[in-house]
Amino acid sequence: MKGISFDIVVSLITGIFVCLIVLPMFALFTSTSLGELANQFKSPYVLASFLISLETSLAVVFLALCLGVPTAYLLGVKKFKGKEIIDTLIDLPICMPPLVAGLALLILLGGNSGFGNLLSNQGIDLIFSKKGIIIAQLFVSTPFLIKSAREAFESIDQNVINASLTLGASKFYTFKKVLLPLAKNGIYAGMVMTWARALGEFGATSMVAGCVPFKTETMTVAIYQNAMSGEMDSSVAIALVLIVFSFTSLFIFKSRLRGQIALS
Amino acid sequence: MGVVLKKISKNYNGRTALKDLDLEVSRGEFHVLLGPNGAGKTTVLSVIAGLTKQDKGTVMVGGRNANGLPPEKRKIGFVFQDYALFPHLSVFDNIAYGLRVRRLKETEIARKIDYYLARVNIEKEKNKYPHQLSGGQKQNVALIRAIVTEPEILLLDEPMSDLDAPAREKTGQELKNFQQEMGITTICVTHDQDEAFSLGDRVSVLNEGKIEQIEAPHDLFYHPKTEFVARFVGAKNILKARIIKIQQHEAIVYINNECLVQPFKIRVKKYPIFEKGKEISLCIHPEKIVLKKPNEAVGNNLNRIRGKIVNKRSNGKTLRATIDIGGTEIHAAIPKALFDFRIHENVWVCFAPDAPHPLCGKRCRADEAGRRCLNEIRSIRS
């Protein structure tokens, strides 16, 4: 196949995929009027679900960063026995259906389990609470950060790390001054994927936290609840908020990241 | 003593990298580890630096047992083969890294860095990043970064392998100047014998995880003790011989290489290890061979062997000729100005009795190159 015709075929295939993404969104945008949309945006119910989603997903990104970066460093830089097992376990939530993850968390954290009982006795109730949402989102989305950060750590030349050590730096100093700066783009990308996954999480969240309006109802849960009860306008409004917000955030992040890579 | 390695062994997944390796490098010495790829050279550096833990043996750095010390406590500077500059830091910050670890004042750091950058004429590159530098500049930055902290030991892993010839010569000189001025005990790894002989106070030749010979460059070059070292430093002429007569200053030996059609006798300088009837291997450096025309007079003081030139190739200022002496090949390095021979021309291969020297009295290992018969070579060529 000649170069030009191959390019046309590849462009056509890409066009088909872009249509696959754009058309449903277009349908969503055209299913309501601007006036109705403005009304819905003013509704405390929509605002509450937006804030709950934003609050929990950002908390998840922070916690995933604290838990995921050290784990990614361990998997990406160190060699130890059982590494493959740990790596596979960490990937498991990505393959696991969110409902199954939610069910497992519900059983573990619920009052009928020993662990749930222990938490309950300490006054910590995770089920049907925002904390439960965070746990569920953390469970399903942290692997995205770990995978991305791990690849970033892995791609760092071992001799660069060795150079730091031979210059007298401790392992922590090397981590802080060499590894983190060199892996930062991978970590940022992982944060965005984790945030996007947490924002869109539905299955595990609804199992663990239920759908209590103004308390545990995230945007995705609200979309489902409203659609099932025939409140399509609310459902569409929340969906559009979610799409516009996600697209804008991702676009800004990717532009900034590309700028940084170009600079370096 | 600068660095002492005692009986160091290291295996990687069952493959032996180092085997009971002993090495002593004096304080202030520039020591070169020379050997082919896979000989274990980089592993030696890595073990000294504490980046690789040896399976067995002791590492002494500056008189201290360093076995339990992590790399950051060993007071070493390491220049890696790929330079390993921090890609996210400028030249200044790369060099300042070790000084900041030691909590020096920024003014002191700037003073030191300016001094070293001026020494190698790269002051203008101070704010550039590694990807904006040439190979020679990167090498200079890596070297300054390693020595600016004034380490006790400087380890160099093939420091000039990526440089072109002019940069290599310049950098080699700078390296040697810094080393001599600062008196840092230096261990440099290379597979380039020219680099080894120009830089090293002493050179160790490594083969399959063991040191074959440690010697000053000149002695190593002209008096290799094993066949491996001889071949590695370019002394390809290995003759198997039996001593048949020992005189006051010389011995008569009978050359009997496996493929030789007609064995012959030569006179050789007498060595203490010589005993009548003993089988030995003799090495003759290509530079010590003189070629003469068949009708040219050859002095009685020289050995002469009849041969035919089968190949010649240019190598800088010299021509390297291969001469068939009847089933065995002899290699000669002749200055271009003195080379007046054609391929297939008959010649006398001449050398003085003190040109051949014994390889520890051990018989040659009959390796592939040594055993090739000329007929086989001819059949391949045809």
Cβ atoms B373, B259 nearer than 8 A: yes
What are the chain B neighbours of A172 within 8 Å (beta carbons)?
A: none
To the nearest whole Å, the CA of B78 is away from the closest chain A CA by: 6
What's the N-to-C CA distance of chain A in angstroms?
37
Q: Please check the confidence at residue B184 and state whether its pLDDT lies above 80.
A: yes
To the nearest whole Å, the CA of A70 is away from the closest chain B CA by: 21
pLDDT digits (tens, 9 = 90+) for B245-295: 998 889 999 998 888 888 889 999 988 888 888 888 899 989 889 999 888
Total residue length of chain A: 264
Return the structure tokens found at B287: 């530079």
What are the chain B neighbours of A160 within 8 Å (beta carbons)?
A: 84-87
Task: Report if pTM > 0.90.
Answer: no
Interface test with B, best of A156, A157, A158, A167 (most B CBs within 10 A): A167
- Radius of gyration (Cα) for chain B, nearest Å? 25
Q: Do A264 and B88 touch (CB under 8 A)?
A: yes
A144 vs B230, higher pLDDT: A144
Longest Cα–Cα distance in chain A: 71
Closest CA to B301 of B237, B351, B357, B241: B351
**What is the distance between the alpha carbons of residues A135 and B55, in angstroms, rounded to a whole number?**
45
pLDDT averaged over every residue in chain B: 87
Please compute, for residue A78, the number of CA atoms within 13 A of its CA located in the half-sphere on the CB side.
14
Q: In which band, very low, low, confident or very high, does the pLDDT at A261 lie, cut at 50, 70 and 90?
A: low
Cβ atoms B14, B4 nearer than 8 A: no
Sheet with strand B15-25: strands edge to edge: B15-25, B3-12, B56-61, B64-65
Interface test with A, best of B78, B156, B184 (most A CBs within 10 A): B78
pLDDT digits (tens, 9 = 90+) for A51-96: 999 999 999 999 999 999 999 999 999 988 999 999 999 999 989 8
Closest CA to B302 of B288, B319, B320, B322: B288
pLDDT digits (tens, 9 = 90+) for A210-234: 888 888 899 999 999 888 988 888 8
Q: How high is the ipTM of this complex?
A: 0.80
pLDDT of residue B65: 92
**What is the distance between the alpha carbons of residues A7 and B376, in angstroms, rounded to a whole number?**
54
Q: In which band, very low, low, confident or very high, does the pLDDT at B68 lie, cut at 50, 70 and 90?
A: confident
Domains observed in chain B: 3-227 (3.40.50.300), 228-381 (2.40.50.100)
Nearest CA in chain A to B99: A167
- Radius of gyration (Cα) for chain A, nearest Å? 22
